[in-house]
Structure 1
C-alpha cells in the first residue's frame, strides 16, 4: 500500500465529461453534449497526452478514467478511448487501470472492448432504493441495471460500487440495505460518500425551497458509523474516510493521490500535480477542444505548492487514510517534523479525542473520522 513519503511511479487521470443526462445533485464538470463532440474531444485528449507526456516520463503506475460518464460514449469513441489509454501505459501494462461506468450503459460489448487494458470497473450505483434514485435524478429509478452490470463484470475485472448516504428521505435502514446489496453483488471495493448538497444544482434548489429534507446532522453521523460497522461485517475494511475494500482491493490510484504522488490529468477540468505545481485545465468541454486545437494546451490555472503549504496539504491527505501520517516518512519528504509543525492542532484535537498521536504515527480516531473536515482544516491553515 502506498504511504506518505514513499516514492511511486506517477498516475494518469483521464476526464470524460459526457453524460446522457445530468443528475439532480451533480455540480461536476460534466454535461449532455452533442454526439458530434465526442470524436474531436478524443482527438484533443490524444493531443494533450502527447504534448504533456514528457512532464512525467516514467511509466504510469495507475490510470483512472472518470467523468462524467465515460460509458456514455458511442462505440467508436469508446474504442478510441481504450486505444488512447492502452497507448499511454507501458507494454507490460500498469498496476491498475479503472474505468468508471454507468450501470445502465454497461454492456458485454463495452466490457470486452476494454479487456486487456482495464483491471477495475467502478459503477455509479449511489443507491438501490427507487424513490431515492428519483430524488437524485438517477435514471432509471429501477436498480436492476446495477445488478445486471455487476453480473457482466463478474470475475473479469475488480468491481467498485459508489454509494451515497445522507440522501433526502433516506433512513438508517435504507442506507444499511444499500450496503448489503452492494456486498451481495460481489463488490470488492465500496466508496460510501455523504451526499453534499450544492446550491446551484436542481437538488440544492429543491432543498432550499423545502421540497425535500436532508437527514439531520446526528443521523448523518450515525449513517457514517453504521456504514463502517456494516461494511466491516461484510469483510470490507475502511482504509480511507469514504473508501472500504477487501484486503488487496484498495484503489491504488487514489492511494497514490492521498500519498501526494505526482499525476497527470488530461481532459476538460482535469487537474495535475507535477514538480510541486498543481494545474487545472479549461473546464468547459467545447473550449477545451478549441484551445487544444489552437494552442496545443488547455491549462487555465497554475499554483505552486512549496514549504509549509505543501506540508499542510500532505498532512491533510494522509489524515484521510486509516494509516494516517507516518512521522519519519513525512519528515524525510518535507523537512518538517509534523509533531512540531502542527503542535497546536495536535494538542487541541488529541485532547478532544479526535486524534491519536504516537511517536511513529498520527491518525484520526473513530470520533475523528466523523469530524475529519474540522480536524484537517487546522493542518492547512
Structure 2
C-alpha cells in the first residue's frame, strides 16, 4: 500500500518583491497567471500517470509563493479541481493558502472556504509601519489585523501568522508589543523567523553598500528568547525552532518535511522528494511551461540521494523539531546509530549544554535553539 503524499503548489506571482525575499516570483498579470494555471494542470496530470505518484492520497496541500492570495478565485478553483481529479484528497486533508494581508477580502475568504481551503497563513511580518516599509511589504498593520479577524469571521479556525525579528532598528519594546498583540488575536499557530540577508536581494545590496545596518546577532538572540517566553505564556507550544501552535494545531504539511516524508512540488522552482530522490522544477516561468508542454517532468532527471545525504538531511530536519529525534526509530529507518556515528560531536555539545538526551530522544536544549545553526552545521 502506497503511503500518503504531501503536495506543494508554488504560485510565482507578487505585486512587488519584498526587499529581503530571494524566492522565485514574478510581477502578477492575468495573462501570466492564466498560462501558469494551465501548465500546472497539465503537470498534475503528468505526475498522476507516473508509478511514483499514481493512486497516492494527498494528506495535505500547501499553496505557497509568491502571493497565492493574489490569484483570481476562478483560477485557484481550476487548480484545486485539477488536484482532486488526479489525486485522492480526503475530507480531512489540511489545505493551506498563504495570504498577504493587503490582498485579503471578505468575498475571497468565503470563496477560499468553498474551495476547501481550511488553513490560512497570513504574512504579517511586522506591526510597525516603518519596519513594514523597510521590508518592502505592501500592507499596513491595520490591514494585517483586519485580515486575521476577517478570516476568523469567515469561518477559518486554523489561522497562522508569520513574523520577522532581527529587523535593524526593531526595539525590544516594539517586538514585545508585536508579540503581545498577535498572541491576543484569534490565531492557533505562529511562525517567527530571524531576518535572513541574501546578497542578491535589495536588502543585501543596501547592507553591502553601507546604506543600512546589518541585523545585530545579540539583538536577534534577545528577541528570540522573548519569543519563546511570550509564546509559551500565551499557550502557543514550540514544536520546531521557528514554529509554535496550540496543541493539535501544528502545521501538518511542514511536519511532513521535518519527519522526512515524501512530497510533490508543482509549479516553477518547486522542489520534490520522491522515491529517495530530490529534484526541482525549472525556475523560469517560460522554461517551466515549455517543459510541461513537452510532456516532461523534472523527475526524469532526478538523481537519488546517497545514504550519507539521506541520513544527514534526516538528522538536520529532525533536530529542528523541539522533541528532537527518536534514536531507536532513526536507527530502524536508516540503519544508523547516531550516538555511535556522531559520538564526538554529540558529547561535545551535550557538555556545552546545547544538546541533551531526553529519554530516547536527542534534542536541542533551549540554549541550543539559540545556536542551532552552529550545532547543525557540525553534522554536515
What TM-score results when the alignment is normalised by the length of structure 1?
A: 0.93
Moved more, 361-370 or 287-296: 287-296
Q: CA separation of 1:174/1:301 partners in 2, compared to 1, >3 Å: closer, same or farther?
A: farther
Once the two structures are TM-superposed, the CA of residue 134 in structure 1 deviates from its matched residue by: 0.4
Greater RCO, 1 or 2 (C-alpha within 8 Å, sep 6+): 1
The answer to whether structure 1 residue 60 and structure 2 residue 58 are counterparts is yes
* Structure 1 counterpart SS, 2:13: coil
Once the two structures are TM-superposed, the CA of residue 353 in structure 1 deviates from its matched residue by: 1.0
In the aligned structure 2, how far is the partner of 1:197 from the partner of 1:171?
Answer: 19
Residues 133-165 of structure 1 show CA distances to partners (whole Å, capped at 9, x for unaligned) of: 00000013x211111111221042410000000
In the aligned structure 2, how far is the partner of 1:82 from the partner of 1:207?
Answer: 41
Q: CA separation of 1:94/1:273 partners in 2, compared to 1, >3 Å: closer, same or farther?
A: farther
The answer to whether structure 1 residue 21 and structure 2 residue 16 are counterparts is yes
In the aligned structure 1, how far is the partner of 2:11 from the partner of 2:34?
Answer: 12
**Partner residue of 1:124?**
123
In the aligned structure 2, how far is the partner of 1:299 from the partner of 1:105?
Answer: 34
Contact 1:82 1:114 in 2 (8 A): no
Contact 2:236 2:244 in 1 (8 A): yes
* Structure 2 counterpart SS, 1:369: helix
CA-based RMSD: 1.8
**Partner residue of 2:234?**
234
**Partner residue of 2:379?**
379
The answer to whether structure 1 residue 331 and structure 2 residue 326 are counterparts is no
Once the two structures are TM-superposed, the CA of residue 118 in structure 1 deviates from its matched residue by: 1.4
Matches within 5 A, 1:287-306: 287-298=287-298, 302-306=302-306
**Partner residue of 2:39?**
44
Q: How many residues align?
A: 373
Moved more, 144-153 or 11-20: 144-153
Contact 1:29 1:283 in 2 (8 A): yes
In the aligned structure 2, how far is the partner of 1:379 from the partner of 1:273?
Answer: 21
In the aligned structure 2, how far is the partner of 1:165 from the partner of 1:179?
Answer: 10
Runs of at least 5 residues in structure 2 that lack an aligned partner in the other structure: none
Contact 2:57 2:89 in 1 (8 A): no
Once the two structures are TM-superposed, the CA of residue 191 in structure 1 deviates from its matched residue by: 0.3
Contact 1:18 1:70 in 2 (8 A): yes
The answer to whether structure 1 residue 153 and structure 2 residue 151 are counterparts is yes
Contact 2:9 2:267 in 1 (8 A): yes
* Structure 2 counterpart SS, 1:97: strand
In the aligned structure 2, how far is the partner of 1:143 from the partner of 1:360?
Answer: 44
Contact 1:101 1:121 in 2 (8 A): yes
Once the two structures are TM-superposed, the CA of residue 301 in structure 1 deviates from its matched residue by: 6.3
Contact 2:14 2:67 in 1 (8 A): yes
Runs of at least 5 residues in structure 1 that lack an aligned partner in the other structure: 1-6
Once the two structures are TM-superposed, the CA of residue 298 in structure 1 deviates from its matched residue by: 4.5
**Partner residue of 1:248?**
248
* Structure 1 counterpart SS, 2:8: strand
Contact 1:99 1:118 in 2 (8 A): yes
Find 2:78's aligned residue among 57, 77, 80: 80
Once the two structures are TM-superposed, the CA of residue 102 in structure 1 deviates from its matched residue by: 1.0
Moved more, 87-96 or 283-292: 87-96
* Structure 1 counterpart SS, 2:315: helix
In the aligned structure 1, how far is the partner of 2:13 from the partner of 2:315?
Answer: 34
Once the two structures are TM-superposed, the CA of residue 374 in structure 1 deviates from its matched residue by: 1.1
